[in-house]
Chain A
Amino acid sequence: MIDLIILVTLLALGYGFGSYAESRHYKSIIARENRLRHIPAVTSRFPQMNNNSRDAELVSGSVVISVDYFKRFIAALRNLVGGRVTSYESLVDRARREAILRMKAQAEQLNADIVFNVKLETSSIHKGRGNSIGSVEVLAYGTALKTQQ
């Protein structure tokens, strides 16, 4: 019985804080995406070569987001029956977009106009802990290009 109470408390905490953090994060992501829209991040490997190209620099952004208890519980049950782990989808979506935004913010500081050859790398952080800790790291990196006006 006490187990059940602890579980429900953990789930409620996880759901409460998790969904609050998620909705706040999404709002901030959307706002910053709009603000940084003037610096496109594209996956083409080579920029168009013209005489205006001046400087190229590596820019990167990385973020680590932890899963909350509620999401992990759902995912654990999903392990049994299979199907889309929808509770993790929004988590990695947030991580990817946040990483790109941080990369773009770095590019903005360099006064770059565009980021080329953008790549994303994902890793989960749970060394030695099996499934007990679920954090996802997303790293975004690319080549920021400055062009002469």
Chain B
Amino acid sequence: MKYSNPQIPEGINTSEQHPLKEFFMLTTGVLVLIVAAVLLLGFFADKLAHHIPFEVELNIVSKELLDGPEPGPMQSYLEGLTERIVSAQGLSQEMPITVHYVDDDTVNAFATLGGHIYMFRGLLEKLPNENALAMVLAHEIAHVKHRHPIRSLGRGITIGLALSMVSGTLGDMMANQIVSNTGMVTSLTFSRDQERESDKTALETLMVLYGNVVGADQLFVVLQNAEGTMKVPEFFSTHPLSEKRIQHIHAFGRELSASTTTQQATPLPLDFADWLSLETTEKEHE
């Protein structure tokens, strides 16, 4: 018997396919899958979270967790405005809104679980008139009205859990990063949708309260300036671009054919500036 090792043609045990082709097909395929999965999960989590009763939110955010608002002239002014906006938006009795004035430089305002709304001094200082302030407050109250905080929470938990399950199986740190970042960026579309919805409700509220939407755009001019020159693409942002929000407001104003001149704006109370500086000076004395 004669033994031999003849030359075997190449490419039997390996693939002919170019590795770069496989790389691009796999990457796009997986990314498309993740985007689709996140959108689907987010959609259903959002729908389900909407059915959680508001009482549950109130129980989650109990008194022990949050300090009650500190009394003061600004606090009472904001509470008065909140009451008007709540009745304008037709919120039910089961959805109590608690507004908190926060003496801090942060240019921000936010709504969270249990109908708690935080207004920062930093933002209030920059607002030119009551309409702009009402726009902020109405926007945050609209978040509560549409149950956005609990829906964001439900969605965040669902998507986060799903993404960590997927990225856990990958075993490569960088690939994990890509998967979870893609998922997170995708889920921001929900956040931007919520902002648009709240903007719309807030504008309708302004119409009820003042008969016009004057000052609403001024709020976003303020925000735009606070953002500075660093422009983050909308795709990576939790909020729609301020420019676009201003455009929407102008379009809304035209729709209602309400003439928008700043003369029609309701001025802030005369003592507003004093209220703002009051608490800071008190702090300085301490």
Contacts and interface: CB of A to CB of B under 8 A. Distances in A.
Interface of A: 3-4, 6-7, 10-11, 15, 19, 26, 30, 33-34, 37, 40-42, 44, 48, 70-74, 76-81, 84, 86-87, 89-90, 93, 114, 130-132
5 contacts: A3-B174, A71-B19, A80-B169, A93-B14, A131-B172
Contact of A41 (B5, B15, B20, B172): B5
Given A7-B174, A7-B177, A37-B5, A15 B20 contact: yes
A3 B182 CA distance: 12
Contacts of A26: 10
B168 to A, nearest CB: 11
A48 B170 contact: no
Interface residues of B, number: 30
A19 B26 CA distance: 19
Nearest to B30: A77
B181 interface: yes
Contact of A78 (B5, B14, B26, B33): B26
A7 B172 CA distance: 11
Contacts of B266: none
Contacts of B26: 74, 77-78, 81
A76 B181 CA distance: 16
B13 A93 contact: yes
Given A3-B174, A90-B15, 19 more contacts: A4-B178, A6-B174, A7-B174, A11-B23, A37-B4, A37-B5, A40-B4, A42-B3, A73-B172, A74-B19, A76-B175, A79-B169, A80-B33, A80-B169, A81-B29, A81-B30, A86-B14, A87-B22, A114-B3
Contacts of A11: 23
Given A40-B3, A42-B3, A81-B30, A70 B19 contact: yes
Given A15-B20, A86-B15, A3 B181 contact: yes
